[in-house]
């Protein structure tokens, strides 16, 4: 039987191997600052995509009383507190959780910066099944968030719900995305889908010289909260919509509602179309899949769609496919919760979200003008905004 102390020691050994010696270790809290991921053997730094600033901080916490194990990564606070969701997931080990939060916190820096928000990027991972979550673990996790003294603000992600945030809000004020009854904005999927559609129209304008969806073929892969709204919006705008989801019942129900056709999730990505909209898994655009694609535009809300960023964006360009960077077009969710920090206003959130169209257009046009990938063009915008703030 694995004891709490052995779990802590195993996790700590793993994190030391990857991050080096911690700066502080006290009372179940272990902290690293100015983090560079190491290769685990030679101690050499491993370059992470977009990691031009390195990570400012990583906090590991193990609460022996409840069994909670969490890793919180802060990539950047150059523009403001690091905002990012809590992913409660049964990771194989601490290394898998660490790599996830490093990658995702870095993406949150980019998403907030390009959206024009005065926020940085962070992310948290709790190692464990959401089904086994206890009230004690939620309280222990809130203490980890509080340990960062406002440098990190959390919200929902995979494995956490608005109800969980409401429970966490009893123990921490460093939180957004709670229910309207708790002063939050509630479900962010509507505004996320709205910004995806704004990005899609901008991409159509660049690709075809016409932003209209009328008569276009749009394939939506993943029809959950966001993807379902994207499919509905596309159909309402006159597009011929195909939908695919591993949850076939949901795809069939949505298709019947909006007059779409149901596609096999295994082959949906290679369906001939004007727009492919990935709204499910990340890493779907890679060396193996890209040559098989038969679309002109890619625009969806799935995080980290490129397996290798920016290399796979370059490969998409070589195949004549215009990629709207996911963190640019899916900014609606972070915008929605960010507005809560000054008192939530739907009108203000929608006004900020409206910027996604001109921002996407500028990024795609910069890519064409400089003959660089759309991922590189988006990164230039992120770096420019952060550098201007730092100076």
Does the pLDDT at position 391 exceed 70? no
**Residue range(s) in the chain whose domain bears CATH number 3.40.50.720:** 189-390
When pLDDT is cut at 50, 70 and 90, the band that residue 198 belongs to is very high
**Residue range(s) in the chain whose domain bears CATH number 3.40.50.10860:** 4-177
pTM for the whole structure: 0.87
Does the pLDDT at position 42 exceed 90? no
- Encoded tokens for 281: 């898994």
Q: From the candidates 61, 75, 99, 123, which is the catalytic residue?
A: 123
- 225 in active site: no
Look at residues 102, 127, 111, 173 and name the one whose alpha carbon lies nearest to residue 11.
127
What is the mean pLDDT of the segment spanning 23-43?
76
Does the pLDDT at position 199 exceed 50? yes
When pLDDT is cut at 50, 70 and 90, the band that residue 142 belongs to is very high
Task: Point out the least confidently predicted range of 38-47, 123-132, 300-309, 318-327.
Answer: 38-47
Percent of the chain with pLDDT over 90: 82
Write the pLDDT tens digit of every residue in 210-265.
Answer: 999 999 999 999 999 899 999 999 999 999 999 999 999 999 999 999 999 999 99
Architecture of the domain defined by 189-390: 3-Layer(aba) Sandwich (3.40)
Write the pLDDT tens digit of every residue in 151-177.
Answer: 999 999 888 999 999 999 999 999 999
Burial class (CB in 10 A: 0-12, 13-18, 19+), 44: exposed
When pLDDT is cut at 50, 70 and 90, the band that residue 47 belongs to is very low
Residue 103: the pLDDT is 86
Residue 39: the pLDDT is 53
| Protein fold of 4-177 | Rossmann fold (3.40.50)
């Amino acid at each position: 039987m694995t004891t709490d102390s052995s779990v802590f020691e195993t996790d700590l050994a793993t994190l030391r191997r990857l991050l080096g010696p911690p700066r502080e270790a006290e009372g179940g809290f272990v902290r690293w600052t100015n983090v560079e991921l190491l290769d685990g053997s030679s101690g050499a730094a491993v370059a992470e995509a977009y990691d031009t600033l390195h990570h400012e901080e990583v906090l590991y916490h193990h609460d022996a009383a409840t069994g909670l194990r969490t890793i919180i990564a802060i990539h950047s606070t150059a523009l403001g507190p690091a905002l990012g969701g809590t992913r409660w997931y049964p990771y194989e080990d601490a290394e898998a959780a660490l790599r996830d939060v490093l990658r995702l916190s870095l993406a949150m820096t980019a998403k907030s910066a390009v959206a024009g928000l005065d926020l940085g990027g962070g992310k948290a991972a709790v190692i464990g099944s959401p089904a086994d979550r206890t009230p004690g673990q939620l309280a222990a996790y809130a203490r980890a968030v509080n340990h960062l003294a406002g440098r990190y603000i959390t919200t929902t992600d995979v494995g956490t719900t608005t109800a969980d945030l409401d429970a966490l809000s009893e123990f921490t004020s460093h939180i957004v995305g709670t229910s309207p009854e708790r002063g939050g904005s509630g479900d962010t999927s509507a505004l996320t889908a709205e910004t995806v559609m704004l990005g899609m129209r901008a991409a159509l304008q660049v690709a075809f010289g016409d932003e209209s969806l009328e008569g276009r073929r749009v394939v939506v892969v993943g029809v959950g909260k966001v993807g379902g709204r994207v499919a509905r919006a596309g159909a309402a705008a006159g597009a011929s919509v195909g939908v695919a989801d591993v949850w076939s019942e949901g795809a069939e129900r949505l298709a019947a509602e909006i007059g779409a056709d149901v596609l096999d999730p295994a082959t949906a990505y290679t369906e001939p179309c004007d727009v492919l909209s990935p709204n499910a898994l990340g890493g779907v655009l890679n060396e193996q899949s890209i040559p098989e694609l038969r679309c002109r535009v890619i625009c969806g809300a799935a995080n980290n769609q490129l397996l290798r960023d920016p290399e796979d964006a370059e490969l998409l360009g070589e195949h004549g496919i215009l990629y709207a960077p996911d963190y640019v077009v899916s900014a609606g969710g972070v915008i929605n919760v960010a507005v809560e920090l000054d008192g939530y206003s739907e009108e203000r959130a929608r006004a900020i979200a409206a910027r996604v169209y001109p921002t996407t257009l500028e990024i795609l046009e910069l890519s064409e003008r400089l003959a660089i990938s759309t991922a590189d063009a988006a990164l230039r915008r992120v770096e420019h905004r952060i550098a201007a703030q730092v100076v």
